[in-house]
Structures are given as C-alpha cells and as structure tokens.
Amino acid sequence: MSASPSPFSDELLEQVRNLPDLPGVYRYLAADGSVLYVGKANSLKKRVGSYFQKSDLSPRIRLMLSQVARLETTVVRSEAEALLLENNLIKALSPRYNILFRDDKSYPYLMLSGHEFPRLAYYRGALDKRHQYFGPYPNGYVVKESIQLLQKVFRLRTCEDSVYSNRSRPCLLHQIKRCTAPCVGLISSEDYRADVQNAVQFLNGKTGELLSGLEARMQALAGEWKFEEAAAVRDQIAALARVQEKQFVESKGSELDADILACVLQDGLLCVNLAMVRGGRHVGDKNIFPAHAEGYGAAEALAAFIAQHYLNRSVPPVLFCSPEPADAAILAATLTGQAGRKVIINASPKGGRRIWLEMASKNAGLAIAQRQSAAATQQGRLFALIEALNLPEETRRIECFDISHTMGEATVASCVVYDRFDMQPKEYRRYNIATLKEGEAARDDAITPGDDYAAMKQVLTRRYSKIAAGEGVVPDLILIDGGKGQLTQAEAVMAEIGLAEPVLLGVAKGETRKAGLEQLIIEGSHASVRLPAHHPGLHLIQQIRDESHRFAITGHRARRAKIRVSSSLEDIPGVGPKRRQKLLTRFGGIQGVKAAGVEELMQVEGINAALAEQIYAALHG
C-alpha cells in the first residue's frame, strides 16, 4: 500500500530539510503572502521540522499548516535574540494564528514634563526621556485620582503648553486654588520646584518622609507667627494623611515593586489578570482577554503576554506568575538584559505574595464568568466597542453632545450620559446657546446663528470647565456628533481647560446618512474608522448618539415654540409682558391663544373688547 501524498509542495519540504541547526525566527505564509504564524526556535531545523513530522498535532496547528504555502526564516545569535525578534514581528504583523495581547501603549501614566515649570498630566503612549513618568498603572482611575489630589495639595499646572505660554491672566483653576499660576508669574521657580519635589516624593511612595517634612515646615511657620501659611500646610498634611489611609492595600514592611500575573483557561476562554504593586502597595488590577487564543494553554499564553507586554518596555524587578510561564528562564534572562538589573519570574511565592497570586487567579476566573454572562447585553456592547477602537479597558462613562437648531434659530445643545451600562436620564443636560441678532456686535456669550462649531465649543467649555474644577464626574469617552470640524473644537476646548483624560471620538454620518454607515473620527490623527453595520460596539454608539439627537431636538422645538410665541404676541401693541404671561397661562400656550375667540380673550384680566379684537386679528391676519 503506497503512502498518501504529502499536502505540502516539494519546494517547501526541501526548504524545511535544509534549515540550519541554529537559533532563529520562522514565519509561515499563506498563498496570498499574508503571515499565518511567527515562532522562535533554539534550533530552526528541529523546531520547524517537528511540524511536518508529528501526527498528533492540535486542530489549530493542523488548520494552520493546511494553509502554509511558503516559509521564511531569520537566523540570530541566541534564543534571547529570537524572542525579541519574534515579539517585534508579532506586534508588527498580527498573524492570525499567534495569540495577541493589546499593546500596553494603552496603559496610563502620570507625567511630569521637563519644563522649568513642569506640567502634571495624564498620559498614554510612547515615553519621552525629557519627561518624568510614574506608572504604568493598570487603569486610569488611580491616575485621575492622583492628579486631582496633586492639584489640591501641590497646585501644579495641568494646562497644555500652547495655553500656558499665551495666558495674560490666571485661569479658573487658579481662582479655585488648584494651580499657583506660574503662567503669569504668581509663583517663583524655586517655590514651584519645591512643590514638584514634594509631588514626586508622594508618587514614589515616600509619603511618610513627605508628611514629616510638611509637619516640620508647619511648626516652623507657626513659630514665626505665619498662621495662614501654616494652616495651608496643615490642610496639605490632612489631605495626604487621608489618602495614605484609604488609597492602597499595603504589604507591610516592604517597598517592593512587582507585578502579579495569573492566567486562567476556563470554558474555552483565556484571561490574564495583571495586578501591580508599587512601593509595597497594591495599586489595582485589570483583566486582559487576548485575540486568537484558541488552542493555547495557560502557560503558553502567559509566556506570550510577558513577551508582548514587557519586551522593549519598563519591567519591575519581580513577576509573580501562575502558572509558571513557558520558557520562563529565557524570558527572565531576556528581561534582565533589557532592564540592566536582575528580573525574577517567581511561580511559587510564599506567604502574603502567594495570596496575591490566588487573588489574581480568582479575579481572572470571575472576569471570564462575567464576560460569558454579558455577551448579549449592554456590557457586551461596551466591551466590543472598547476592543474595536482600542479604548482604555476601564472605559465606562460616556457623554455625547449634539447641536439642534432651525436655520440658526433657537440653538440648543444636548449632553446625554451613558454609565453603569445604561443611559442615565437624570444626568442629561440641555444648554441654550445665545445667538447674535442681525447687526448686533459680537460678544463672548453669543455665536453667529447656524455656527455649529462655535456652538459645540461653547457647550463643551461650559460643561467641562466646571468638571475640571471638581464639580462633576470626568467621563472616560466623549462622543461628538459631527465630523472633523466639531472634533477639532472639542480638542481645542480640552487643551484650553487642561482636561486630557477623556478620549474624544467624532461620529459622522455616512454619505447617504443611513444608519450603519457612520464614520468614527479618531482624535489627534482624525483618521476615519468604520465598524460593520452588525457590530455591537457600533450599535452602542448609535443608541447613545440617537438619544443625544432626540434630547437636543425636543429641547430645540420647545425653545423655538416659546420664542415664536413670545415674538408673535410681542408685536401686538398693548400686550406687554404681564398680559402676555396671563394669556399663555390662561390658554396653555400660543396654540390655545390662537384657538380662542374674542369673547374668550376678553375673560382674561386686563383684556378689553378692543384689545381682544386686536389680538384675534393679529393672530389670524
């Protein structure tokens, strides 16, 4: 009985037979040239050859091999170099059979810029050596809370450089004692530098030393009878002490920096729980669900996460892992060489650190259960939107704005709120936008009729100036109903008031204005993204956008009717504000007044027969 013919081409098999016994990276390519899989090997000959010799391959591997048309390899000097190259290629090519974790550029940092008067900012993206960064943090809540605290206690500036360099008078944040106004010279560089150093001490976890220094300063000021200054320092101490009590779970007697990583495979779903400990304090955690995870085990997936998350980026001295990742020794050696100090991967910690790992494993299992139950719910829609647009994982609160008017008349802006996985009608707000009358001189509180850009700028400034001052909740995502122009206005407003945390997203209607053809405009690049019409994330955006539109249009119609009522009655001689109000109250609005006869009009106090006939004629002429 003859052997069955090989499904692979002779050219491919010959290439596999001639591979060198050296470390390197291999790439399987489909017939159309797309990369199917990227892998590393200590011996290309043995590793790649094993794919074509084994008969007990997993279904995922068999499916992949059935599509392989070509093979490419790159020889390197060591397995560590192969690991680095493999990771870079996976990130660049996103092969369909490699497990993929989201790039940690989406993780938030707290940044102090390298200026003479450093700016305090919420930051995501590539790190710049000119600035000082604290993090990364597993979610944005810790960063936002820290910024608010540092503003209250140390009063550091948060405004963009373009705003800072062009101010002639202090902004709102200075007036509410959230900034010392270095932009207009109200604080010396020495005093501002001292505030920055105190903030750095706090962020580095040296709160005890900071409190001791502030207490000594308070006593010195009190001894010099500078009681107002001493009281200000006392308030700083009280605020810091409250944070020290509630902010983090602590590991007593330790200033350990470590990450806790637990990977759980449950009901066919993989989840990695990443928890961060900084200065001995547990600062939070997040759950990460990879793409293309079918067929991967927990140890193999955790190794992929460590490579994709830490290579070419900062790494703490210790990674506590469950289970032990595949190729743990190679990963640890590679990370050690990258960091310039020893990096330990510990899969069997003791005491409290083992409890950390158990907590991480439990949280990963709970996240899998939650994702399963939320697949067809609002949570599922939100998670789909987060994944599709690479939004911060902690995105929960969404606010959406729309402008409504009739050829510039009675302009109304709406803000609707989506939070706690549902619309929140009690938190909706409408804003009446004042417009200039024909021939009227320009003024700050009014816009040219029909100028949607100016209307959007005004409503965003009115809402977020208050929120920046601490009067409200900072949203995670702001939807702007409109295209690049409206989004540009939103970006300018956020830069002006120094509120950098929310992600901005424009929602533009498609060419035919049909539902499902919406273009999503990304802030900064203004690139357009179009989600499929059936995408759950798009359905969520449509729901919120439509609610914003409905809320704006009902407000506009009510305002327009009121304006038209007032103007039609105002034009009648003898009908002043008091009589106008009595008429509207008596008949329930302008339609009721129009429907009334002369005798009915005469029943209103102050309306005689002659005036009643005059009103009737004016409204029916």
Query: If you write DSSP's letter for every residue of 207-254 in order, what string do you get?
Result: HHHHHHHHHHHHHHHHHTT-HHHHHHHHHHHHHHHHHHHHS-EE-TT-
Q: Which two tokens stand for residue 141?
A: 């809540």
What does residue 310 show for φ and ψ, rounded to 5 degrees?
Answer: -105, -30
CA distance 60 to 197: 54
What are the helix and strand counts (H, E) for the chain?
21, 20
Q: Are 307 and 83 contacting, i.e. CB atoms less than 8 angstroms apart? A: yes
- Predicted confidence (pLDDT) at residue 244 exceeds the cutoff of 80: no
- Judged against a pLDDT cut of 70, whether residue 296 lies above it is answered with yes
Q: Is residue 478 helix, strand or coil? A: strand
Average confidence score pLDDT of the chain: 86
Cα–Cα distances in angstroms (integers) from residue 338 to residues 102, 143, 448, 493, in the given order: 21, 27, 58, 40
The token pair that represents 322 in the structure block: 């469950």
- Give the C-alpha separation, 621 to 571, whole Å: 13
Q: How confident is the model at residue 403 (pLDDT cuts 50, 70, 90)?
A: very high
Beta-bridge mates of residue 278: 281
| Least confident among 44-53, 441-450, 457-466, 535-544 | 441-450
- Residue 444: its pLDDT value, please? 74
- What is the mean pLDDT of the segment spanning 64-93? 92
Q: Does the pLDDT value for residue 353 go beyond 50? A: yes
**How much of the chain exceeds pLDDT 70, in percent?**
91
- Among candidate residues 475, 468, 385, 459, the one with its CA nearest the CA of residue 424: 475
Q: How confident is the model at residue 83 (pLDDT cuts 50, 70, 90)?
A: very high
| Burial per residue of 79-112, b for 16 or more beta-carbon CB atoms within 10 angstroms, e otherwise | bbbbbbbbbbbbbeeebebbbbbbebeebbbbbb
| CA separation for the pair 80, 547 (Å, rounded) | 53
SS3 content of the chain, % helix, strand, coil (to 5): 45, 20, 35
pLDDT recorded at residue 250: 45
Q: State the average pLDDT over residues 402-413.
A: 88
The 10s digit of each residue's pLDDT in 119-136 is: 999 888 778 889 998 877
**Confidence (pLDDT) at 567:** 54
The residue ranking higher by pLDDT, 87 or 254, is 87
Give residue 461's pLDDT. Answer: 95
User: Are the C-beta atoms of residues 56 and 20 closer than 8 Å to each other?
Assistant: no
Measure the CA–CA gap between 273 and 367, rounded to whole angstroms: 9
User: The pTM is what?
Assistant: 0.62
pLDDT in tens, 563-594: 665 556 777 888 887 888 888 777 766 777 87
Question: What integer pLDDT is reported at residue 253 of this predicted model?
Answer: 44
Show the domains of the chain with their CATH numbers: 10-98 (3.40.1440.10), 106-250 (no CATH), 258-373 (3.30.420), 398-539 (3.30.420.340), 571-620 (1.10.150.20)
Beta-strand ranges (E) seen in 356-508 are 398-406, 409-419, 422-423, 429-432, 477-481, 503-508
Tell me the longest C-alpha to C-alpha distance in the chain.
116
**195-227, pLDDT tens digit by residue?**
898 888 877 767 677 778 888 888 888 888 888
List pLDDT tens digits, range 170-190.
988 998 888 999 999 999 999
Of 449, 470, 443, the closest CA to residue 155 belongs to 470
